[in-house]
């Protein structure tokens, strides 16, 4: 259904270019996410390495700024 709508809107000749661009965008996003995860891991800011328990984080006072 969605492919049919895209085909009608853009035409058959532009579909390969659109798919290629979408694939490249997804790969760039994935790489950026992995880079950020790596930086957080190296900095010790990853939630998996946090010293606080989940209940401490949930019960922490909130700032309304």
Cα Rg for the chain, rounded, in angstroms? 21
| Tally of CB atoms within 10 A around 12 | 8
Predicted TM-score (pTM) of the model is 0.52
Q: What is the pLDDT of residue 25?
A: 97
Q: Are 42 and 34 in contact (CB under 8 A)?
A: no
Query: What is the model's pLDDT at position 28?
Result: 97
pLDDT per position as a tens digit, 5-24: 888 888 888 888 989 999 99
Q: What pLDDT does residue 39 have?
A: 92
């Amino acid at each position: 259904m969605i492919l049919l709508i895209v085909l009608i809107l853009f035409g058959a000749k532009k579909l390969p270019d659109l798919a290629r661009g979408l694939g490249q965008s997804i790969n760039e996003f994935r790489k950026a996410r992995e880079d950020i995860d790596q930086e957080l891991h190296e900095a010790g800011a990853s939630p998996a390495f946090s010293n606080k328990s989940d209940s401490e984080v949930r019960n922490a006072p909130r700032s309304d700024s």
